[in-house]
Amino acid sequence: MHRSQKSASLPFIVWMVLFTIVPIILVIVYALQNGGGDFTLQNFVDFADPIYINVLLRSIGIALLCTAVCLLIGYPTAYFLTHKGLDKKGILILLFIIPMWMNFLVRTYAWLTLLESNGLITSTVNAIRHLFGAQDDVRLLYNYGAVLMGMVYNYLPFMILPLYTALDKMDKKVIEAAEDLGATKFQVFVKVVLPLSLPGIASGITMVFMPAVTTFVISRLLGGAQFKLFGDLIEQQFLFTGDWNFGSAMSLVMMALLLISMGLMNRFGDREGGGIL
Amino acid sequence: MKNAKKERNVFARIYLALVLLFLYLPILTLTVFSFNASKSRAVWGGFSLKWYISLFEDTDILQALYVTLGVAILSAIISTVIGTLGAIGFSSMNRGQKALWLNVANLNMLTPDIVTGVSLMILFIFCKLNLGFFTMLLAHVSFNIPYVMFSVLPKLKQMNAHAYEAAMDLGASPAQALVKIVIPEIMPGIISGAILAFTLSLDDFVISFFTTSEVQNLSTLIYSMAKLGINPTINALSTLMFIAVLSLLLVLNRRSALVERKKPQHHHHTTA
Amino acid sequence: MSVVESEHLIDLVDLSKSYDGGETGALKNLNLYIRKKEFVTLLGPSGCGKTTTLRLIAGFETPTTGKVFFDGVDVTDVPPHKRRVNTVFQKYALFTHLNVYENIAFGLRLKKEPQNKVDAKVKQMLHLVGLNGFEKRRVDTLSGGQQQRVAIARALANEPEVLLLDEPLGALDLKLRKEMQVELKKMQQELGITFLYVTHDQEEALTMSDTIVVMKDGLVQQIGTPTDIYNEPKNAFVAAFIGESNILRGTMLKDELVNFDGHDFVCVDKGFGENKPVDVVIRPEDLKVSEPADGQITGVVQSVVFKGVHYEMMIASNGFVWKVHSTLCREVGDTVGLSVIPFDIHIMKPTLNETPKEA
């Protein structure tokens, strides 16, 4: 009877082998070959070029900045959401979750329409500037700020949700206990609430940083052709340059980057007790 | 003391309202301007449904809609079957095997979309498959399976360890026990897994982008249109997609709220 | 205990079961028969193999070696759904997606019984377990005791020849447990079927069983009626596990004469040889408290606890602290005499180092 149950996993195993393991092996194989199919490490040596390293660093930089901004906006949001006084709390939380379920392209496109030269925000900003005597028009699209804005907008809900989960499941008696022992509101927050929510912070950081550091859509739509991130490089190698070997090597670098930062975050989250799952 | 609390609450409300404004303003603007008679994105030129009309006259968009729904429905069904069976089979694996396949599933989920996309593209081209509906479907099933599995596994864990044995004890064959007891007991997990798979498929852009060429779904279509510039038809399309997801979520939320209400005294009784 | 072969309903022959994980729950060469209409209890501490035995009979596990016979027919390889036994599981294992009615009707529906027969049977079962009118209730809205009753009704609806019960009362509170003990025994007698009951609670076993099988570390320690097991424990483990006991080392000087706690005592046991070490077991209620001069042993009262029916006193003699149950109360510090009649001195082969920590 146990054997028949175990064979239920067979389609799953076959699928995972064919469409998860084999593709990754193919990427590894391509990354270690030159165009002629010979073994080489040249692809990785090529990647060490300052041009690419700068793009890599820029990607990491903007993803970190985006994560920090999301954390700064998201933490108070999650914290206030756990307040008892709020009415219709269920609907309120749903309102913060809904944007997560909206098509990613639509969310990015929305900012495109707001920030392009005739867009609502750009027009408004320019109208105000003209009131104060400015002659020129500002351009809000196709720059670093636009990309950062798009990222924060896209990934903010992914920060709020784990933070909310961590804060909400916290035993409120712990806070009362701290107050009972003489802690001020501020001390309660710094010494009790914040440490207890660290696993939520870790998971929020992971959920924002990972997609932010790998995106190519936001940079393409809001950053324009000149503003390149790591994801754009990989996309280019596969769809324009056609250098699969170099593209595969870069994909592996990206995987390594992600697995390392994930490992760091996991250790951090675990050490501080629990983890939100 | 009371006043301080009240003030804090007011501050909290204002803060939450501002964040919500930030989250919804872009969508609302998009929606409002989808009804704009003029092509401007800043000036209101009167109410009009012309972008919606052009939307439904555009065969490319309709085609993409069918592809999106087709891939989402089929991949949800296939991945739900494979993921659920996979989770059920896990329970009779030994610890080592289980850990191995759980890690593979985790690897699948943790791989960045862009790497999943290019690696599947390499595989499909390597196997001489034409990139299109079929390859996109294969790709969507692949990234959906782990999500289904991880929604079903906790339900299996929650299920009384002896329910399967109890069914056989009462005369059910292993197959009957699976169909009549195990599947119904874990049904909530299966359903939420299927819905998750469906929405993930609807939402996906990156993996679809690399695993299809001629055949477009809505995401890849919006991308190629947006690269060419703003087109109010996309506003209309986005609005409809937003409304569709919103209704789906509301229906689901209502449903789960109903289920919760159906068994309100559960805890009272068992802990009494 | 000579029993005619045909009376055996279940025979377990040389049954062994080993697990990769280690000793817990393993079974070593078990031989046991169960007669028709008998209430048999497998009693022992956790990990002694009692649940494994039950699962081998139900068919959820296959033995490493040995055979299971049912009415003389080898059923070792018959899958659980084809065996004529039904199980009441430890945590009930009710089907939460089905209501009370459908839980009880589950086995009948599998047998494709006609609806009117199912109706009648479910009704009869609900009546039997005292849950009339509960048909439409969701099982997760029931209390623990009610869920337990549904589990019993569900198993009995299939009209098994043997009902297997795996610590069915473990999750209930004390009062409910006592009530259910009486009810289960009554049900078993009314239905006239065999019950095989697994528990670690000696009091439960003594109350309900016709036969008790005491197990430890996958081995049977003793099989007998509750009276036998209580009055004539075969070894120190059984003595300590069933009821309260004073267990101490002694020396068998010759037949019917034993030395322990520094004195010689006349007893009724023979055949241990001469000057051989033995374990001596004396129940607390068998020790008589008297004036120091009238006792076989003298000791000083160390503590007195009122237990309702009797006082429990700890009395220290030369080399041993005796637990004594008496209706007479003595003060702490009093010197008293203790005596015991030969019949109440139980001599057994020495296994003292293996006794459980707590009886």
Q: pLDDT digits over B251-266, tens only?
A: 777 766 554 444 333 3
Interface contact flag, A83 B238, Cβ < 8 Å: no
Q: C147-205 pLDDT, tens per residue?
A: 999 999 999 998 999 999 999 998 888 888 899 999 999 999 999 999 999 999 998 99
Whether B202 and chain A come into contact, CB under 8 Å, resolves to: yes
pLDDT band of B247, cuts 50, 70, 90: confident
pLDDT band of B37, cuts 50, 70, 90: confident
Interface contact flag, B123 A92, Cβ < 8 Å: no
Instruction: Closest CB to C110: pick one of B162, B165, B176.
Output: B176
Answer for the pair B193, B148: CB distance below 8 angstroms, yes or no.
yes
Instruction: Closest CB to A23: pick one of B92, B122, B253.
Output: B122
The percent of residues in chain A predicted with pLDDT above 70, rounded, is: 93
Predicted local confidence at residue C353, as pLDDT = 57
Instruction: Closest CB to C93: pick one of B166, B171, B174.
Output: B166
pLDDT band of A205, cuts 50, 70, 90: very high
Predicted local confidence at residue A275, as pLDDT = 34
Predicted local confidence at residue B23, as pLDDT = 93
**Coil, helix or strand at residue C347:** strand
Predicted local confidence at residue B4, as pLDDT = 65
Strands C297-306 and C335-339: antiparallel
Residue A87 above 90 pLDDT? no
Residue B87 above 90 pLDDT? yes
DSSP B179: I
Average pLDDT over residues A49-69: 95
Sequence ranges of the domains in chain C: 5-231, 244-352
Answer for the pair A155, A211: CB distance below 8 angstroms, yes or no.
yes
Residue A224 above 80 pLDDT? yes
Interface contact flag, A113 B230, Cβ < 8 Å: yes
Whether C19 and chain B come into contact, CB under 8 Å, resolves to: no
Query: Looking at beta carbons, which residues of chain B come within 8 Å of A239?
Result: 210
Average pLDDT over residues A4-31: 91
pLDDT band of C337, cuts 50, 70, 90: very high
Q: Write down the architecture of domain C244-352 according to CATH.
A: Beta Barrel (2.40)
Average pLDDT over residues B11-28: 92
Interface contact flag, B23 A99, Cβ < 8 Å: yes
Query: Looking at beta carbons, which residues of chain B come within 8 Å of A248?
Result: 118, 122
Segment among A126-130, C186-190, C296-300, C355-359 with least mean pLDDT: C355-359
Predicted local confidence at residue C121, as pLDDT = 94
Predicted local confidence at residue A271, as pLDDT = 46
Residue A113 above 50 pLDDT? yes
> Between 3.40.50.80, 3.40.50.300, 1.10.3720.10, 1.20.5.510, what CATH number should domain B47-155+185-271 receive?
1.10.3720.10
Query: Looking at beta carbons, which residues of chain A come within 8 Å of B203?
Result: 101-104
Residue B86 above 60 pLDDT? yes
Residue B78 above 90 pLDDT? yes
Predicted local confidence at residue B3, as pLDDT = 64
CA angle B267, B269, B272 (to 5 degrees): 100
pLDDT band of C359, cuts 50, 70, 90: very low
Q: Mean of the per-residue pLDDT values for chain A? A: 87
Residue C351 above 70 pLDDT? yes
Whether C89 and chain B come into contact, CB under 8 Å, resolves to: yes
Query: Looking at beta carbons, which residues of chain C come within 8 Å of B185?
Result: 95-97
Residue A1 above 60 pLDDT? no
Cα–Cα distance between B102 and B88 in angstroms, integer? 13
Q: Give the chain B residue whose CA is nearest to the CA of C142.
A: B269
Answer for the pair A15, A21: CB distance below 8 angstroms, yes or no.
no
Contact partners, residue B104, CB within 8 Å, separation at least 6? A16, A20, A21
Query: Looking at beta carbons, which residues of chain A come within 8 Å of B145?
Result: 12, 15-16
Query: Looking at beta carbons, which residues of chain C come within 8 Å of B166?
Result: 87, 89, 93-95, 154
Q: Give the chain B residue whose CA is nearest to the CA of A114.
A: B26
Average pLDDT over residues A213-230: 90
Residue A126 above 80 pLDDT? yes
Predicted local confidence at residue B257, as pLDDT = 55
Interface contact flag, A106 B92, Cβ < 8 Å: no
The 3-class secondary structure across C122-153, one letter per residue, is HHHHHHHCCCCCCCCCEHHHCCHHHHHHHHHH
Predicted local confidence at residue C22, as pLDDT = 66
Average pLDDT over residues B103-121: 94
Q: Which residues of B169-184 are buried (b: 16+ CB within 10 A; e: fewer)?
A: bbbbbbeebbebbbee
> Does the domain at residues A47-271 carry the CATH identifier 1.10.3720.10?
yes
Q: Measure in Å the smallest separation between the Cα of B74 and chain A Cα atoms.
A: 16
Predicted local confidence at residue B270, as pLDDT = 29
Q: Give the chain C residue whose CA is nearest to the CA of B162.
A: C93
Instruction: Closest CB to B101: pick one of A13, A153, A220.
Output: A13
Q: Which residue has the higher pLDDT, A135 or B57?
A: B57
Strands C346-348 and C276-282: antiparallel
**Coil, helix or strand at residue A71:** helix
pLDDT band of A2, cuts 50, 70, 90: very low
Residue A79 above 60 pLDDT? yes
Superfamily for the C5-231 domain: P-loop containing nucleotide triphosphate hydrolases (3.40.50.300)
Cα–Cα distance between B100 and A276 in angstroms, integer? 23
Tokens standing for residue B182: 């195990």
| Residues composing chain A | 277
pLDDT band of C358, cuts 50, 70, 90: very low
Interface contact flag, A21 B104, Cβ < 8 Å: yes
Segment among A106-115, A260-269, B125-134, B236-245 with least mean pLDDT: A260-269
Cα–Cα distance between A192 and C127 in angstroms, integer? 55
Answer for the pair B170, C104: CB distance below 8 angstroms, yes or no.
no
Query: Looking at beta carbons, which residues of chain A come within 8 Å of B26?
Result: 107, 110-111, 113-114, 153
Whether A41 and chain B come into contact, CB under 8 Å, resolves to: no
Q: Measure in Å the smallest separation between the Cα of B249 and chain C Cα atoms.
A: 24
Total beta-carbon pairs less than 8 A apart between chain B and chain C: 86
Whether C62 and chain B come into contact, CB under 8 Å, resolves to: no
Q: A175-190 pLDDT, tens per residue?
A: 888 888 878 888 888 8
Residue B46 above 90 pLDDT? no
Residue A135 above 90 pLDDT? no
| pTM, rounded to two decimals | 0.79
Interface contact flag, B81 A11, Cβ < 8 Å: yes
Q: Measure in Å the smallest separation between the Cα of C161 and chain B Cα atoms.
A: 13
Q: Mean of the per-residue pLDDT values for chain C? A: 89
Interface of B with A in 160-179 (CB under 8 A): 168, 174-175, 178
Instruction: Closest CB to C58: pick one of B169, B176, B180.
Output: B169
Beta bridge partners of C288: C339
Q: Give the chain B residue whose CA is nearest to the CA of C166.
A: B162
| C348: region left, alpha or beta (phi > 0 left; psi from -120 to 50 alpha) | beta
Q: C103-126 pLDDT, tens per residue?
A: 999 999 998 999 999 999 999 999
Q: Give the chain B residue whose CA is nearest to the CA of A20.
A: B108
Cα–Cα distance between C81 and C268 in angstroms, integer? 51
